[in-house]
Structure 1
Amino acid sequence: MTRGKDERRSRAVPSSRWGRLYHLGRATGDLALGIGWNGLRELSSGEEGQGRIELSPAHARRITERLGRMRGAVMKMGQLMSMDGTDILAPEVAEIMGALRHEADPMPLSQLDSVLRRELGKGWLKRFREFDFTPIAAASIGQVHRAVAADGRELAMKIQFPGVRESIDSDLDNLGFVFRHGGIMPRGLRIENLLDEARQQLHREADYEAEADALEAYGRALGDDPEIVLPGVHRDLSTPRVLAMDYVHGTPIDQLADRGGEAAALRDHAASLLSRLALRELFEFRLVQTDPNFSNFLYDAGQGRVVLLDFGATHSVRPELVEIYRRLGRAARDRDRDSLEACARELGYLEPEASAEQVGSLLELLEMTSEPLRHPGAYDFGASDLFERVYHRGRTMFFSDRFAGTPASDTLFLHRKFMGIFMLCRRLQARVDLQGLIDPYLTAAPGAAAPGTTAPG
């Protein structure tokens, strides 16, 4: 449940480390109070069959507001937690937590003016014919304003919250402290490796010049695809903390789920487009937009195309990693357990000393997760309980001795992307022929793109 523009309150972004730790502590306390002792014990026990997490709407609202006020790295983690927990959280709670996917509280006009003065100069407003001071979106790193440049260009201006870049390291240090001492991470997990990768990624996301470079590189890799639209970058109005792009039209893609049966074909089409694109990113482009936030995708129903909005979390992928995933997908599709285990070890899912029970548990989870790859024809995500089965099995492993490795850091954001597409297909209750989409890539020779495509140079 997101607030309308007229209901949103602007709040200054807390900037000191201790101030941000205070808000994080309050959010953690609200979570503990909302779930209760028994809930925390059950959550960390990993017992299969555990039902919904009971969290009252009042507590969920307080947690959401606290994370939304902080912005930055902590809110980004909250967005990931709230991606699509509609079958884990109670429906009214999932709706409130889902607000993190779409918007944070906007910054006050004084902070907005301060940022734009610093980035575009004291007379920044003269560079625009129109500038809407009410943001059309506010998320974890910045907020977006609609504007018309002095020469008539219709723009979306992405403006970074003050202090967010400087707070990334302290936010992650604070999160690391909570993870290590809060009893919410499994024994043996090397949390430092995960936090270091998150640190590098968030610093990239906070560099808007790097995002502009990634957007243009992605556009070159994509080429002329009439079903995928990217906004153009306007360098004359962009800086490391301000990104000027074309204003593009479309409906937030997850809203297609609310349009009933008459939109079934649109949902299938949108989900199939993004599934195909995710495979192209890995196997053809070797350049992956890894942020699965639903608000990063719009659907232009009139033109039957998907609009991509955010390229801050764009990763290049090592060619040798692409080949491991090609072999992994082939092994999962064919139920080749020996090859599946070999790939899992290469990716760091299994430590060399992993027990037979640990190996068996992981291979069962990988085979379960890859169920759509073995399904002939369209896989019906709306009728499937795969998400629930994977969630409960994964949580059991995560909080038990059956968790037997820390994945290689450069695989984490690939997992994030593919899980995000999985959850979007589920949210849309779409039917997608994943086997048909991936088979050409799995049968391609090492180092080659799928038939009919061209591998990047």
Structure 2
Amino acid sequence: MTNKEVRPSAPVPSGRSRRFMHLGRAVGEMAASAAADGISRLARGQRPQLSQLMLTPDNARRLAERLSKMRGAVMKIGQLMSMDGKDVLPPEFAHLLAGLRDGAHVMPLPQLAAVLEQEWGSGWESRFKRFSFNPIAAASIGQVHRAETHDGRTLAVKIQYPGVRDSIDSDIANVALLARLPGLVPGGWEPAPILERARQQLHEETDYVAEARSLMAYRELLGEHPLLSVPMLHTDLSTPRILVTDFAAGVSIDQLAQATYPQALRDRVAEALAELALRELFEFGLMQTDPNFANYLYDADSGRIALLDFGAAQVVPPALVEVLREMGRALRDQDRERVRTTAGSVGFIGERDSEAQTAGVVDLMLLCSEPLRHVGPYDFGHSDLFGRAYTGGRDQYMNNGFASAPPADIMLLQRKLAGVFMLAARLRARIDIGRLFAPYL
């Protein structure tokens, strides 16, 4: 388990009105800062836009601090914005929000003790040889502690924040309401899809019983692997609000981007995770759809990668697998008509979409599948594909729009595959994507 940044203790606020007050306070602080900055600029003869005044580094710090204290759905939204916000949010704003992927305010000890006693009963301490009350990681829905049992097991104990599951829908409603304020989000950016995606994902991630089932299923499907592993679940200690697994040592996989790690290692790791994503889709029928880099821990001592967090695992029905297989063949062959047909089957294109909208979606899909058609290893480190895809998507949005939003399950699968490519780019890896796809197409 990686040592993420953890911040000073702060109780998790509960209740819709109290959480709305926290969020509203953040917006009020941002608006006050924007007003003061706007008056100052007007005095200097400038005419700044409201979005320029709201989306500043200082306001990003204020917002990130509030979200990290609230945890839950609002913090998850910040995480999604930081991961998906490349070239949408200003760079400084996206960078500061990215800190939400690495740490949250932790529960104060009395609140933590109350959760542990509620889940494990009084005298729970006797079950452990050691239990560290200082969390080794804290994120949007829970924090992780290291523990040792009397029988020699070293464990990672993931403890859900109190009230987080019950607050999801109200959090999303609060954020949707505040997102209508002018200047709070960039012009032309539609927050509804990411809010709905966050809502669905949070409900899945806070169901620790379902996550335990997914973890065990995934571990069995993966089997013995020379590079990848899934920590074992400990059912005797797990509850609906506590998930206990083997402790996994290591650093977040994106740390391999540092110059101290050789190219061959970065290539091998990125290829293994890209191949795993294809196995998830075409063999397992079960995909872990959260591509957060912290869900992959690299242990330099063993040279292995631990796969974490199966709260967002999604079953992929066989019929959908076959449509996606045909879509892969069509993209490989650059067959526009077959791409159009399969894209319509999964919801990327709607029946009432105009010809211009349809053509734009097909163009984007063919562009994004460039690595699939490349002969030999594709150099993600020197590719400008992400920039071209963003420009193409922006132009499509500005000129023709996107009439149809794909179903949520397709969006999550798409996000996972995009996340793997993003990791390959971060690691500056070289992968033969066509060779990896070939057995499945």
Under a length normalisation based on structure 1, what TM-score does the superposition of the two structures give?
0.85
Contact residue 252 and residue 298 of structure 1 kept, 8 A: yes
The aligned residue for residue 76 of structure 1 is: 76
The aligned residue for residue 48 of structure 1 is: none
Cα-to-partner distance string for 1:358-391 (whole Å, 9 max, x where unaligned): 1111111111111111111111111111112212
Summarize the Cα distance change of 1:400–1:86 in structure 2 as closer, same or farther, 3 Å threshold: closer
The aligned residue for residue 360 of structure 2 is: 361
Code of the aligned partner of 1:323: E
The aligned residue for residue 428 of structure 1 is: 427
Matched ranges for 1:83-94 at <5 A: 83=83, 93-94=93-94
Contact residue 127 and residue 149 of structure 2 kept, 8 A: yes
The aligned residue for residue 151 of structure 2 is: 151
1:142 equivalent in alignment to 2:121: no
In 2: Cα distance, 1:29 partner to 1:354 partner: 40
Q: Report the CA distance between 1:166 and its aligned residue.
A: 0.8
Cα-to-partner distance string for 1:174-217 (whole Å, 9 max, x where unaligned): 23334567696999x894x8756643432221121211111000
1:109 equivalent in alignment to 2:109: yes
In 2: Cα distance, 1:166 partner to 1:247 partner: 28
The aligned residue for residue 44 of structure 2 is: none
Matched ranges for 1:150-229 at <5 A: 150-178=150-178, 191=192, 198-229=198-229
Summarize the Cα distance change of 1:213–1:3 in structure 2 as closer, same or farther, 3 Å threshold: closer
**How many positions carry a matched residue from both structures?**
428
Summarize the Cα distance change of 1:351–1:88 in structure 2 as closer, same or farther, 3 Å threshold: closer
Code of the aligned partner of 2:247: Y
The aligned residue for residue 392 of structure 2 is: 393
Code of the aligned partner of 2:224: D
**Greater mean alpha carbon deviation, residues 62-71 or residues 240-249:** 62-71
Match of 2:224, SS?
coil
Code of the aligned partner of 1:380: D
Q: Report the CA distance between 1:324 and its aligned residue.
A: 1.3
In 2: Cα distance, 1:344 partner to 1:186 partner: 28
Under a length normalisation based on structure 2, what TM-score does the superposition of the two structures give?
0.88
**Greater mean alpha carbon deviation, residues 378-387 or residues 296-305:** 296-305
Among all aligned residue pairs of Structure 1 and Structure 2, give the percentage whose two residues are the same amino acid: 52
In 1: Cα distance, 2:66 partner to 2:398 partner: 27
The aligned residue for residue 453 of structure 1 is: none
The aligned residue for residue 310 of structure 1 is: 309
Contact residue 273 and residue 306 of structure 1 kept, 8 A: no
Code of the aligned partner of 2:133: F
In 2: Cα distance, 1:368 partner to 1:31 partner: 38
Cα-to-partner distance string for 1:15-43 (whole Å, 9 max, x where unaligned): 1212222333445566776799966769x
Matched ranges for 1:432-451 at <5 A: 432-442=431-441
Q: Report the CA distance between 1:69 and its aligned residue.
A: 1.2
The aligned residue for residue 348 of structure 1 is: 347
The aligned residue for residue 274 of structure 2 is: 275
Summarize the Cα distance change of 1:41–1:368 in structure 2 as closer, same or farther, 3 Å threshold: farther
In 2: Cα distance, 1:208 partner to 1:73 partner: 16
In 2: Cα distance, 1:365 partner to 1:138 partner: 37
Structure 2: tracts of 5 or more residues without a match: 39-46
Summarize the Cα distance change of 1:402–1:88 in structure 2 as closer, same or farther, 3 Å threshold: closer
Structure 1: tracts of 5 or more residues without a match: 43-52, 443-457
Code of the aligned partner of 1:228: L
Summarize the Cα distance change of 1:257–1:194 in structure 2 as closer, same or farther, 3 Å threshold: closer
Summarize the Cα distance change of 1:58–1:177 in structure 2 as closer, same or farther, 3 Å threshold: closer
Match of 1:82, SS?
helix
Code of the aligned partner of 1:286: G
The aligned residue for residue 57 of structure 2 is: 57
In 2: Cα distance, 1:20 partner to 1:412 partner: 28
Contact residue 130 and residue 149 of structure 2 kept, 8 A: yes
In 1: Cα distance, 2:30 partner to 2:289 partner: 27
In 2: Cα distance, 1:261 partner to 1:272 partner: 19
Code of the aligned partner of 1:383: H
Q: Report the CA distance between 1:71 and its aligned residue.
A: 0.9
Code of the aligned partner of 2:254: D
Cα-to-partner distance string for 1:128-149 (whole Å, 9 max, x where unaligned): 1111111100001100001101
Q: Report the CA distance between 1:262 and its aligned residue.
A: 4.4
Summarize the Cα distance change of 1:4–1:144 in structure 2 as closer, same or farther, 3 Å threshold: closer
Contact residue 185 and residue 399 of structure 1 kept, 8 A: no
Code of the aligned partner of 1:142: G
In 2: Cα distance, 1:309 partner to 1:436 partner: 27
Cα-to-partner distance string for 1:262-307 (whole Å, 9 max, x where unaligned): 4222211111111000000000000000111111101123333221
Summarize the Cα distance change of 1:77–1:128 in structure 2 as closer, same or farther, 3 Å threshold: same
The aligned residue for residue 19 of structure 1 is: 18
The aligned residue for residue 49 of structure 1 is: none
Match of 1:322, SS?
helix
What is the CA RMSD across the aligned residues, in angstroms?
3.0
In 1: Cα distance, 2:218 partner to 2:211 partner: 10
